[in-house]
Structure 1
Amino acid sequence: MKRSRRNFLKDIGLAGIGISFTGALGACSHRGGRTLNLYTWDTYIGKHTLPDFEKAAGAHVNISLFANNDELFAKLRDGNPGYDVIVPSNDFVERLHQIGALADIDHAKVPNLANIDPRFLNPPFDPGRKVSVPYTWIVTGIGYRKSKVDGVPDSWKWVLDSDRYKGRIGLLAEASELFEIGTKYLGLPANTADPATIARVQAMLLKQKPNIATFHDDNGQDLLLGGDIDLVIEYNGDIAQVMREDKDLAFVVPKEGGILASDGLCIPKGAPNPDLAHAFINFVLDAHNGAHIAETIRYPTPNKAALALMPPDYRDSPVIFPPADALAKCEYSRYKGLQVQAAYEDAMTRVRAG
């Protein structure tokens, strides 16, 4: 059975939490007391994290969900509609910071930053973690159904440049990441701004489009689990989630290398409750709370204190923590400016319409 957002949230015990699926605020407001408005990804929080925070903080949480970074950016581009904490990926942290949409993080109010592995505290997209706090890190690869796929799909060719599994392939809908993956497959640096390279990837995707079942918005794992597709470009944590439900599913980082990302907790400028936002971020970075989140969402945690509490099936998983030789070929996505982003989005529009 396919898992909808509503079913997942019910399953993990958020029935009493204010939930919005469109990102709109206000419908689930809390009468009396403080409300934290959280805008995040689907299936991306611990089973008891929000109820536990509500109890600890004496506040209410209103959770809204976005499908991809483009949707998140569109909500914040013209001002904060009322969110206190958002969870953008690294390149979108850069984009939002450049347009002045993010407030500085007061590190004095987040003492649990001491739990974060130092490797994640000074990234190039946010030196010194001025506007973001690390939540997870991520690797993009190929999720697949072993019984339906002949061998291990260890190249992006299987999904980008082959008709072998026509009608059984799912690709990401997010323009920048899909084009970066296409560039990796061509043997070029992912973070290119070369118009000719973008045109090459566009042509490849247009040629491949008759073989594609869907361009998905953060639900490729559900499509794979439900049997709608047999191969999908997805994030390692999402595939790790559904592998617990179906042992026929697997994940691989292609030999050309994948895209690395780091999702961060940010406070948008104009947040109604900045002190509560800092309290929530600090709560999430607690060792036990961080371990609970990691156990639920199955993404790699940058929280070294939480990692020390995790069982071997998490710490030793080659899906959650791919081998070093595979990671060495991966690249962090970087924001390349409005002109390049527009070129990606225009090319993606032509692919979707073609």
Structure 2
Amino acid sequence: MSDERTKSLFGPHSRRSILKGLGAAAVGITLTSKNYSAWAADEEKKLNFYNWDTYIGETTLEDFADASGIDVNMSLFATNDELFAKLRAGNPGYDVIVPGSEFVERMIQADLLEPLDHAKIPNMKNIAPEFIEDAPFDPGRKYSLPYTWLVIGIGYRKSKVKEVPDSWEYLFNSDQYKGRIAVMSDASELFRNCFKYLGKSINDDSPELIKEAEAMLIKQKPNIKAFHEDNGQDLLLSGEVDLVMEYNGDIAQIMTEDDDIDFIVPKEGAMKQQDTLAIPKGAPHPENALKFLNFIFEPEVGAEITKTILYPSPNAAAVALMPDSYKDNKVIFPPADVMAKCEYPRYLGPEFTRLLDEAMTRLRAA
């Protein structure tokens, strides 16, 4: 999220001003009492962090350097496919990465992740138990820990819709908002949410189901303004579209800037995901990486990250430090009965991935 768009969830001030107003504890100065510098004394004081854009607290990396003496070099990737391809070619030097849950499973199968030494991450205790217990993509959390969680739904401009767009039908199978809708360009996210609309599991790997979803989307294509590349919230905020397929956290961000915007998880259910923290095979500073993971799960650190990115946090101790305007926000935390209809995507193998990619290619060419 750009600096120009860092208006706070809690009022008209910037997030940076809010952090200053909350005092030193909110930005992690209390963390210097932790003996982080005693860990990994034999490793050089460096950490290479491969992250999504605008997906860290404003002071998190500086706070970690102050607490540990370890300097962090953060570089950015744009898609899970980019992350996977980079690591499959050989780790160029990353210590901590942020793969989505489906790609955690894929990376485990490809032997691209180091097992985590949980004994060196005592702050795991701050993670809500359900995020440890419900991780079908990484049973026992042997290779990854939850950084954020998210669900895909429909962001919309309230003044431009006739009724709450509570079904995927508005995006996938209707001309009601012709030329005013945008959907995701990622094949897995697009097609598998179509599966939910068609009454199937997002983890149904039937080739016939892919063909059915493809035919529906090709028919719908004239009504779609854009297949967006993770900027759907910007299209909605600028008024280029009125409905958009997007993550709840991204829509929560722009809702702080425009009260005409809202978000709903369709009644059929949707794909939910976790973005995780993991250590790739060949990490040059694995002990520093464990130290960084433990730091991220400090309550104050997790709260500082959350204040910046506004995604739902699995760090229960961090959530406890957040104001009610965050904890009670039904966009950030959809009700339990809604989330019960949502599913984590599983990695269903190279053949399924190939069929999805080919269907997406035909859809783009149609």
Give me the TM-score of the superposition, normalised by structure 1: 0.89
Where does 1:28-177 land on structure 2 (aligned, <5 Å)?
Answer: 34-122=45-133, 123-177=135-189
Partner of 1:23: none
CA contact (8 A) 2:251 2:262 kept: yes
What secondary structure does 1:347 align onto? helix
Percent identity reads 59
Partner of 2:270: 258
Where does 1:160-239 land on structure 2 (aligned, <5 Å)?
Answer: 160-239=172-251
What secondary structure does 1:213 align onto? strand
What secondary structure does 1:113 align onto? helix
Aligned in 2, Cα 1:185/1:240: closer, same or farther, shift over 3 Å?
same
> Which string of whole-angstrom CA distances, capped at 9 and with x for unpartnered residues, describes residues 259-289 of structure 1?
1111110111111211111111111100111
What secondary structure does 1:254 align onto? coil
Q: Structure 2 CA distance, aligned partners of 1:247 and 1:198? A: 37
Larger deviation, residues 37-46 vs 87-96: 37-46
CA contact (8 A) 1:8 1:43 kept: no
Larger-gyration structure (1/2): 2
What secondary structure does 1:280 align onto? helix
What secondary structure does 1:121 align onto? helix
Partner of 2:354: 342
Query: What's the C-alpha RMSD, in Å, of the aligned pairs?
Result: 1.7
Larger deviation, residues 54-63 vs 176-185: 54-63
Residue 258 of structure 1 aligns with an amino acid whose one-letter code is A
Residue 250 of structure 2 aligns with an amino acid whose one-letter code is D
Partner of 2:37: none
CA contact (8 A) 1:69 1:88 kept: yes
Q: Structure 1 CA distance, aligned partners of 2:330 and 2:15? A: 25
Q: Structure 2 CA distance, aligned partners of 1:167 and 1:332? A: 30
> Which string of whole-angstrom CA distances, capped at 9 and with x for unpartnered residues, describes residues 32-78 of structure 1?
x6332222222221121122112222222222222222222222222
CA contact (8 A) 2:15 2:307 kept: no
Partner of 2:21: none
Partner of 1:325: 337
Gaps (5+ residues) in structure 1? 14-32
- Runs of 4+ deviating beyond 4 Å: 6-9
Give me the TM-score of the superposition, normalised by structure 2: 0.86
CA contact (8 A) 1:147 1:248 kept: yes
Aligned in 2, Cα 1:121/1:281: closer, same or farther, shift over 3 Å?
same
Q: Structure 2 CA distance, aligned partners of 1:74 and 1:350? A: 23
Between Structure 1 and Structure 2, how many residues are aligned?
Answer: 331
